[in-house]
Amino acid sequence: MKKTKKKYLIGSWTILIIVVAITIYFTGAMSKNARMETNLDEYMPKTHPAFIYSDQAEEWFNIKDGILIAIENKNGIYNPQTLQKIKEISEDLQAMDEFEDVDVMSIYTADNIVGDEDGLDVKAFYKSVPQSVEKIDEIRQNVRTNDMVYGRFVSTDETVALIVAGMNGGDFSQQFYKDIMKFAKSFESDDETIYVAGRPIVEGTMALLGPADMKRMVPIVLLVIGVVLYLLLRSVRATSATLISVFISSIWAFGLMSALGVPIYSISTMIPVMLIAIGVAYGVYFYNHLFKFYRNNPEGSRSDAVFYVIRILVTPLAMAAFTTIIGFISLLSSQVLPIKYFGIFTAVGILTAFILALSFLPAMVIILGYRPRNKKVENSTIQPSGTWEKVSDWLLSKKKGVFISVTLVLIFSVWGIQKVWINSSFLNNFEQSSEIVQTDRFVNSKFGGTSTLNVVLESNENDAFKQPANLILIDEMQAETEKLALVGNSFSLADYIKRMNKVMNADEQEFYSIPSDNEMIAQYLLLYEMSGDPQNLVKVINYDYNRTNVTFQLKGDDSKTIKQALGVVKQFEDRFNKNGITLNYAGSGYKALVFTDLIFEGQIMSIAISLVLVLILLSVMFRSIKAGLIGSIPIMITAIFSFGVMGALNIPLSTTTALLSSIAIGIGIDYAIHFMQYYKENTRKKGDKLLGLYATMNQTGRAILFNAVVVISGFLVLLFSVFPPNRKLGALVSMNMFTSLAGTLTIMMILIYTFNVFIKPTKK
């Protein structure tokens, strides 16, 4: 007996040492290799045709996302001090390795195309800062009369100037984000306020807040679940061992990510919260059965206790873990990389939590021991009472009302689903009152917009975009699209031609148009190339004049805004096609829109895959298609209801909320599996389906209720996240867990009982 006890003790210490060693290894991998992915382009699949074309177009026309530095002087920017700061910011940005000179644009670096006695000339608005009122007024007048600059680099109220510095996404880093913010803010004074916006700044802010949010959330979720666990388990040892096991599963998941060189994306920061909330349920089941053993065998040994629990728990827990893993693995169908990796490594963490529940927790019991502290008190709370029988009888007597209630819920859900929309906005990841959102809103209010949409037009004929008809059509497309409230302005080769035509005709406004003579257009372009910097034209036209880029500035980065602009642009497709010109789209705005379509496609695919696989697995597990169909009903209702609520509350699908269905299916199916497993056993033991139902509701109904309380408590912690989508996800998942629980203990229970699932027909 002593040898056996010693053998189990040695085995338990061996398990503990192995777990500690693996945890140390993964902790080291995290400290060395963990990195936050800040480039939002890396969220997107490189092999998708839309992204391949967009990347090519960005190379053709030097399309880059810009860092926008706005300097505000409420008394007006036309004074020596503010003009000097515009110059210094522009020159300092050009001196930085991250920027090319041509990519820094402001009234200091912009070309002022003017007409003179020799024809056309290109000058700077100013090279040195003038001190006299007359010279400053001259700059003001030159800006006001130049439509290529006025409203783009100087606000129409002349209180804000904008410096735009385009950069490649790969050049941006967290350190550079800190450096550029410090650099920009160094120009602030009592008279001038500095605002920094643009997509790279959004990326940098997200990279800064993401890890900080995760570090804050993990202790909160451990504390909350720790309190709930202790109230349920009434044991410090059981609570501590369970929390340690789920914390280890998070370390292993993140450690594996780091070891494989997979970066941390914004939604990856939720993995620890997910694993802790999900994994704790395995500990609840483990200690619930352990208590049951000691209640029936007060003098039982530790080894007998853990082997009893493992034997009883391994099948339903394996089923639950496997189906949960399927829910997350189904996210592999998504082409969105953060969602794909979220699914993989959450599944790894769940598998780890399952293994630890059947190895680490038993080892802790053998090493440290476990006994209910107060049998009388615990018995009074654990011991079955008549409550569950009464609930069962009441539900069976009211089954028609239950069916009607479920029907009404489904009708509401179908209505809500029709209102679900997809949002590509990265700014929606932040509080509306946050500095990054307020800054973006301010810059949008003063200028054309912080987001861009690029329309690329191509022709097989060289010099196609020297033809007046094509340039006029481009100009019409720009004018029509700019009528939209959220489209600030646009920029193309047509703007250059219109400006040159105007200054070559005594600066008369009536000549601010496309000339009808293609020879004149060619002459204007030649004069510009001789007088100005031809490199500036690279952003709008290629060398052969058969491919051109039109940039639209948008006052929002959400999919609705981008779709509205595209809707107007596409109205011109047929007219361009008649001229032998095709339209394509590029830039971060368009890629974000394609991104939303991929989110939707992945969501539909993951739901279909997970539901089909769960149905098959339940049918195989319980050797009954009828059991599989009925067991799938709670999660089907939950998935439909959750999307209905999203539509009704105007909560969009995003990279975060797109995880909802997989989480709902993966976790919610646990309740059905545990209920069906024990109903099957109890019915066969007692030989009567009603007595089997009573026993199952008394035993498993309470256990899954505890499970739901723990999981819901864990996900509600997401309400403390700094990111609004995370908070919405936490609330929705908590709602889903309650819906799955309610569906399992009502509609599924009634259907199992009514359709005689697991009841063998009697032979006549």
What is the spatial distance between Cα 285 and Cα 675, in angstroms, rounded to a whole number? 13
- Whether residues 501 and 574 share a domain: the answer is yes
- Whether residues 246 and 350 share a domain: the answer is yes
Rounded to an integer, the average pLDDT of 404-421 is: 93
> Angle 296-298-301 (CA atoms, 0-180°, nearest 5)?
110
- Whether residues 762 and 628 share a domain: the answer is yes
Q: Is the pLDDT at 376 greater than 60, yes or no?
A: no
What is the spatial distance between Cα 613 and Cα 610, in angstroms, rounded to a whole number? 5
- Helix, strand, or coil here: 158? coil
Q: Could you tell me if 283 and 245 are in contact, meaning their C-beta atoms sit under 8 angstroms apart? A: yes
Q: Could you tell me if 505 and 593 are in contact, meaning their C-beta atoms sit under 8 angstroms apart? A: no
| CATH code: domain of residue 345 | 1.20.1640.10
Highest mean predicted confidence (pLDDT) among 80-89, 277-286, 432-441, 485-494: 80-89
Q: Could you tell me if 597 and 57 are in contact, meaning their C-beta atoms sit under 8 angstroms apart? A: no
Rounded to an integer, the average pLDDT of 695-699 is: 84
In a domain, 760, yes or no: yes
Question: How do residues 489-538 score in pLDDT, each as one tens digit?
Answer: 899 999 999 999 998 888 888 899 999 988 999 998 888 888 766 677 88
In a domain, 245, yes or no: yes
The domain boundary residue, chosen from 180, 204, 228: 204
pLDDT tier, 446 (very low <50, low <70, confident <90, very high otherwise): very high
What is the spatial distance between Cα 550 and Cα 576, in angstroms, rounded to a whole number? 14
Choice between 388 and 94, residue whose per-residue pLDDT is larger: 94
- Nearest one of 65, 264, 31, 260 to 172, comparing CA atoms: 65
Q: Could you tell me if 369 and 302 are in contact, meaning their C-beta atoms sit under 8 angstroms apart? A: yes
For residue 664, the model assigns a pLDDT of 74
In a domain, 223, yes or no: yes
In a domain, 629, yes or no: yes
Neighbours of 537 (CB within 10 A): 19
Question: How do residues 152-187 score in pLDDT, each as one tens digit?
Answer: 999 999 999 999 998 876 666 778 888 999 999 999
Number of domain units in the chain: 4
Give the C-alpha distances (Å, rounded to integers) separating 325 from 39, 260, 641, 732: 29, 20, 22, 20
- Whether residues 232 and 250 share a domain: the answer is yes
Residue 462 is which amino acid?
Answer: N
> Angle 324-326-329 (CA atoms, 0-180°, nearest 5)?
115
- Whether residues 631 and 751 share a domain: the answer is yes
Q: Which tokens belong to 612?
A: 């089909």
What is the spatial distance between Cα 321 and Cα 331, in angstroms, rounded to a whole number? 16
- Whether residues 348 and 414 share a domain: the answer is no
Report percent pLDDT > 70 for the chain. 95
What is the spatial distance between Cα 93 and Cα 171, in angstroms, rounded to a whole number? 14
- Nearest one of 717, 642, 603, 639 to 272, comparing CA atoms: 717
Question: How do residues 525-583 score in pLDDT, each as one tens digit?
Answer: 888 888 766 677 888 999 999 999 999 998 888 888 888 999 999 999 999 999 999 99
Residue carrying the six token digits 């060289």: 462
Q: Could you tell me if 163 and 69 are in contact, meaning their C-beta atoms sit under 8 angstroms apart? A: yes
- Region of 506 on the Ramachandran plot (φ > 0 left; ψ -120 to 50 alpha; else beta): left
For residue 711, the model assigns a pLDDT of 80
- Whether residues 733 and 716 share a domain: the answer is yes
In a domain, 429, yes or no: no
Which residues neighbour 238 within 8 Å (Cβ) at sequence distance 6 or greater?
A: 229, 283, 287, 290, 370
- Whether residues 285 and 144 share a domain: the answer is no
Rounded to an integer, the average pLDDT of 195-209 is: 82
Scored b (16 or more CB within 10 A) or e, 589-627 reads bbbbbbbbebbeebbebbbebbbebbbebbbebbebeeb
Q: Which tokens belong to 356?
A: 């630890």
The domain boundary residue, chosen from 572, 593, 614: 593
- Nearest one of 562, 563, 594, 34 to 335, comparing CA atoms: 594
Choice between 9 and 168, residue whose per-residue pLDDT is larger: 9
Report percent pLDDT > 90 for the chain. 37
For residue 255, the model assigns a pLDDT of 92
What is the spatial distance between Cα 268 and Cα 36, in angstroms, rounded to a whole number? 9
pLDDT tier, 383 (very low <50, low <70, confident <90, very high otherwise): very low
Q: Is the pLDDT at 380 greater than 60, yes or no?
A: no
Three-state SS annotation for 503-559: HCCCCCHHHCCCCCCHHHHHHHHHHHHHHCCHHHHHHCECCCCCEEEEEEEECCCCH
| Residue 749: domain span | 385-418+622-764
Work out whether the CA dihedral 606, 612, 617, 618 comes out positive or negative.
positive
Question: How do residues 217-253 score in pLDDT, each as one tens digit?
Answer: 888 888 888 888 888 788 888 899 999 998 999 999 9
pTM, two decimals, is: 0.78
Q: What is the DSSP letter of 761?
A: P
Choice between 215 and 413, residue whose per-residue pLDDT is larger: 413
What is the spatial distance between Cα 269 and Cα 562, in angstroms, rounded to a whole number? 28
Determine phi and psi for 603, rounding to 5 degrees.
-65, -50
The domain boundary residue, chosen from 145, 169, 204: 204
Q: Is the pLDDT at 763 greater than 60, yes or no?
A: no
In a domain, 598, yes or no: no
For residue 344, the model assigns a pLDDT of 92
Q: Is the pLDDT at 414 greater than 60, yes or no?
A: yes
Q: Which tokens belong to 713?
A: 């408590």
Which residues neighbour 611 within 8 Å (Cβ) at sequence distance 6 or greater?
A: 632, 635, 636, 639, 665
Q: Is the pLDDT at 384 greater than 50, yes or no?
A: no
Which residues neighbour 291 within 8 Å (Cβ) at sequence distance 6 or greater?
A: 372, 378, 382
> Which of 32-46, 194-208, 741-755 is least confident?
32-46
Rounded to an integer, the average pLDDT of 685-700 is: 85
The residue ranges of DSSP E strands in 134-222, in sequence order, are 160-167, 192-197
Q: Is the pLDDT at 655 greater than 80, yes or no?
A: no
- Whether residues 311 and 191 share a domain: the answer is no
pLDDT tier, 478 (very low <50, low <70, confident <90, very high otherwise): very high
For residue 591, the model assigns a pLDDT of 83
Q: Is the pLDDT at 283 greater than 80, yes or no?
A: yes
pLDDT tier, 378 (very low <50, low <70, confident <90, very high otherwise): very low
> Angle 269-273-276 (CA atoms, 0-180°, nearest 5)?
140
Q: Is the pLDDT at 375 greater than 60, yes or no?
A: no
> Which of 20-29, 630-639, 693-702 is least confident?
693-702
- Whether residues 331 and 395 share a domain: the answer is no
In a domain, 604, yes or no: no
Q: Is the pLDDT at 373 greater than 60, yes or no?
A: no
Question: How do residues 76-132 score in pLDDT, each as one tens digit?
Answer: 999 999 999 999 999 999 999 888 888 899 999 998 888 877 678 888 999 999 999
CA atoms within 13 A on the CB side of 218: 19
For residue 723, how far is the Cα from the chain centroid? 10
Q: Which tokens belong to 521?
A: 């257009």
User: Which DSSP string corresponds to 390-414?
Assistant: HHHHHHHHTHHHHHHHHHHHHHHHH
- Whether residues 444 and 579 share a domain: the answer is yes
- Whether residues 218 and 134 share a domain: the answer is no
What separation, in Å, do the N-terminal and C-terminal C-alpha atoms of the chain show?
Answer: 53
What is the chain's percent helix, strand, coil content, to nearest 5? Answer: 70, 10, 25
For residue 573, the model assigns a pLDDT of 95
Mean of the per-residue pLDDT values for the chain?
A: 86
For residue 170, the model assigns a pLDDT of 63
Neighbours of 561 (CB within 10 A): 23
Question: How do residues 291-316 score in pLDDT, each as one tens digit?
Answer: 888 888 887 888 888 898 898 888 87
Residue carrying the six token digits 């085995």: 11
**Beta partners for residue 585, in sequence order:** 455
In a domain, 83, yes or no: yes
